[in-house]
A and B are shown apart, each in its own frame.
Chain A
Amino acid sequence: MNILQLLGSVEIGLIYALVAIGVYISYRIIDFPDLTVDGTFTLGAAVASSLIIANIDPLIATLMSIFAGALAGMVTGYLNVRWKILGLLAGILTMTALYSINLRVMGKPNITIIEDATIFGSQSVIIVSSIVVIIFIVLLVRLFSSEFGLAVRASGINPKVSNSYGINVATMKLFALAASNGIVALAGALFAQSQGFADISMGAGTIIVGLASLIIGEALLQPKAIITSLVACVIGSIVYRIAIALALNANSIGLQASDLSLITALLVAVTMILPKLKHR
């Protein structure tokens, strides 16, 4: 693996770190397996690219994509808390609906912004996305140590007790899902702008990547505090990308191009097993 490949992995890893952070908020903080993210990643990409094509400032376009993602997360939350639809199903419903909505937003399945100005300007993608990731980690750490944030965390750990303490569990869930999906949509917006195009199928498998990154990070760092958990998401996401980069190099030993997924899975599994062996 050469330095360019490593930088490429870090670049994609940093953007997907936001996905892992989003998944962390829904899956770990409020204990909600949220599949909406497959749709919101594309939604973020779609909203940002469409607005950029319409000559809207890239920064505003990116902020609008966060807003759109948050709205989608709230739909999932609303279906779940108001109508008691199973969380998994609520996410699937929103994700399915988002496919049509994303097509409406983009107008066609693939739009290109390769010649348009993006939020990255002439800056390196790694620097800009590092700054974005750091800003979000700082914001989230402050949020989750505030009184409101503690209430959100409590309602995830024990909804019944939280309710009896006067915490509105439903509102907390709605908020967490909005935050989670807003961050994932931001990742989609950044990804589309860094690559110069948005495609209707780009969100497929987002939840798997997010979850894998989260769990790799947790296996490596074994975090207790919120800040270490968030940092674990970033590290997990980058390690996941490095695993794919290594798998891409493995074809010189007689492996085929189609073996990519298998090798990636093996490398990820080994990464997660190794830290556990220390405790034997």
Chain B
Amino acid sequence: MFKNFLMIIFSMILAISACGQESINSGGDKLLVINQFMSHPALDAVAQGVEEALRKRAAKVKIQLQNAQGNITNTVQIAKHQASQSPEVIVAIATPSVQSVAKARTNVKKTIIAFAAVTDPVAAGISKLENIIGVVDTPPINDLIDILLKALPDKKRVGIISNSGEINSIKIAEQFISYSTAKGLRVINMQISIGAQVKAAAEKLVSEVDVIFIPQDNIVVSAIDSVIQVAASQKVPVIGNDPSLVDKGLLFALGCDYFKIGVQLGDMIADRLENKKVEPNIQGSGIKEFRINEKMAVILGLDSQILKGASK
């Protein structure tokens, strides 16, 4: 009895899964699939932005999102799965997703790859692919350093806590070091690889630097509270390039707005679906977001008006 019951359940799952295919291809809507590498506020915001833009443009698309939950093998399998549905557009969010999608795409002429949340498409090997559009989220690091120089001119020693396991983090740290050294700042870069090392890195830095810079990545950001706590106890300001972290206690941050990146990408997709040209096919994000934490400014004894003035 129990056996039969289980058999029925099993075949029902199989049947439903098999039917899933039919309903996708029915209807006149074009299929757009999203391959999102993991759940993360920035990546979620991109997906929402794309959906929002396409809804506003009233593009006739059916959107299907798959999330690999941070597992590369799943990303690859999802990419193959999505390619097999021969969609009009595959949206790939984050570098491993784009790389997997590029390899899995079966019909290069028909299927457009649209990517976002990739900092360096050339290093990722996707810049020269055919039929690809995307928005690069190069963070405005030089502008951030200019603001820092104007707002806190007496702070000459900067410490960075970066994640050696994430390409974005490394690239941002490199860019920060090259521009700030040229501007006469002294920089110490602490590289960590697991969350447990973040606090120790912060503790070492506070005694040696005047400001701590946090590049956007997954590990350092996940332990941001301990950095803020350590730094605030020594009155060392923490700055970054992810504006969503200002609420956590960064003094200020200048960065990309990921929702707007998603909207920009969604508009590019809509243009392509209406057979308009998208030039250039890989665009930068023009929109920057600057945010200040006024409470933190008070704690550190700084004037938030001066900080605000420095961003202009």
**Which residues A64-121 have CB closer than 8 A to chain B?**
99-100, 103, 108-110, 112-115
Task: Find out whether the CB atom of B103 lies under 8 angstroms from the CB atom of A112.
Answer: no
Task: Find out whether the CB atom of A273 lies under 8 angstroms from the CB atom of B6.
Answer: yes
**Which residues B247-276 have CB closer than 8 A to chain A?**
none
Task: Find out whether the CB atom of B77 lies under 8 angstroms from the CB atom of A12.
Answer: yes
Given A5-B81, A270-B9: A195 in contact with B193 (beta carbons within 8 A): no
Q: Does A163 contact B (CB under 8 A)?
A: no
| Residue among B76, B83, B104 facing the most chain A CB atoms (10 A cut-off) | B76
In the complex, A96 Cα to B9 Cα: how many Å? Answer: 41
CB of B253 to closest CB in A, whole Å: 23
Q: Does A190 contact B (CB under 8 A)?
A: no
CB of A85 to closest CB in B, whole Å: 20
In the complex, A250 Cα to B128 Cα: how many Å? Answer: 34
Stretch of A133-141, A144-152, A221-229, A239-247 contacting B (4+ beta carbons < 8 Å): A239-247
Given A1-B17, A112-B124, A199-B72: A260 in contact with B66 (beta carbons within 8 A): yes
In the complex, A97 Cα to B14 Cα: how many Å? Answer: 42
Q: Does A201 contact B (CB under 8 A)?
A: yes
Which residues of B sit under 8 angstroms from A54, Cβ to Cβ? Answer: none
Task: Find out whether the CB atom of B21 lies under 8 angstroms from the CB atom of A2.
Answer: yes
**Which residues B121-169 have CB closer than 8 A to chain A?**
123-126, 128, 164-167
Q: Does B234 contact A (CB under 8 A)?
A: no
In the complex, A248 Cα to B85 Cα: how many Å? Answer: 12
Task: Find out whether the CB atom of B65 lies under 8 angstroms from the CB atom of A4.
Answer: no
**Which residues A1-41 have CB closer than 8 A to chain B?**
1-2, 4-5, 8-9, 11-12, 16
In the complex, A154 Cα to B124 Cα: how many Å? Answer: 48
Name the residue on A nearest B123 (C-beta). Answer: A112
Name the residue on B nearest A125 (C-beta). Answer: B103
The contact of A195 among B3, B84, B99, B165, by CB within 8 Å, is B99
**Which residues B1-20 have CB closer than 8 A to chain A?**
2-3, 6-7, 9-10, 13-14, 16-20
The contact of B167 among A108, A115, A245, A252, by CB within 8 Å, is A108
| Residue among A8, A202, A209 facing the most chain B CB atoms (10 A cut-off) | A8
Task: Find out whether the CB atom of B71 lies under 8 angstroms from the CB atom of A257.
Answer: no
**Which residues A239-279 have CB closer than 8 A to chain B?**
241, 244-253, 257-258, 260-261, 266-267, 270, 273-274, 277
In the complex, A252 Cα to B69 Cα: how many Å? Answer: 19
In the complex, A149 Cα to B272 Cα: how many Å? Answer: 61
In the complex, A209 Cα to B102 Cα: how many Å? Answer: 24
Query: How many B residues face the partner with a CB closer than 8 A?
Result: 55
Which residues of B sit under 8 angstroms from A200, Cβ to Cβ? Answer: 165-166
What per-residue 1/0 map shows which CB atoms of B58-84 lie under 8 Å from chain A? Answer: 000000111111111110111011011
In the complex, A218 Cα to B125 Cα: how many Å? Answer: 40
Given A109-B165, A251-B20, A270-B9: A12 in contact with B76 (beta carbons within 8 A): yes
Which residues of B sit under 8 angstroms from A99, Cβ to Cβ? Answer: 165, 193
In the complex, A162 Cα to B83 Cα: how many Å? Answer: 53
Q: Does B232 contact A (CB under 8 A)?
A: no
Given A195-B99, A196-B102, A250-B13: A258 in contact with B77 (beta carbons within 8 A): no
Q: Does B24 contact A (CB under 8 A)?
A: yes
In the complex, A249 Cα to B10 Cα: how many Å? Answer: 15
In the complex, A246 Cα to B19 Cα: how many Å? Answer: 10
Task: Find out whether the CB atom of A248 lies under 8 angstroms from the CB atom of B81.
Answer: yes
The contact of B125 among A112, A202, A257, by CB within 8 Å, is A112
Task: Find out whether the CB atom of A103 lies under 8 angstroms from the CB atom of B81.
Answer: no
Task: Find out whether the CB atom of B69 lies under 8 angstroms from the CB atom of A109.
Answer: no
The contact of B77 among A196, A201, A241, A261, by CB within 8 Å, is A241
Q: Does B207 contact A (CB under 8 A)?
A: no
Q: Does B106 contact A (CB under 8 A)?
A: yes
- Which residues of A does B touch, CB under 8 Å? 1-2, 4-5, 8-9, 11-12, 16, 99-100, 103, 108-110, 112-115, 191, 194-197, 199-202, 204-205, 209, 241, 244-253, 257-258, 260-261, 266-267, 270, 273-274, 277, 280
A to B CB contacts below 8 Å, 28 in the list:
A1-B17, A5-B80, A8-B104, A11-B80, A108-B123, A108-B170, A109-B164, A109-B166, A109-B170, A110-B99, A110-B124, A112-B126, A114-B102, A200-B165, A201-B70, A201-B96, A241-B77, A245-B81, A246-B17, A248-B77, A250-B16, A252-B23, A257-B36, A257-B67, A260-B66, A260-B67, A266-B13, A277-B6
The 8 A-B pairs of least Cβ separation, nearest first, read A112-B125, A8-B80, A4-B84, A249-B20, A252-B20, A249-B17, A202-B72, A246-B17
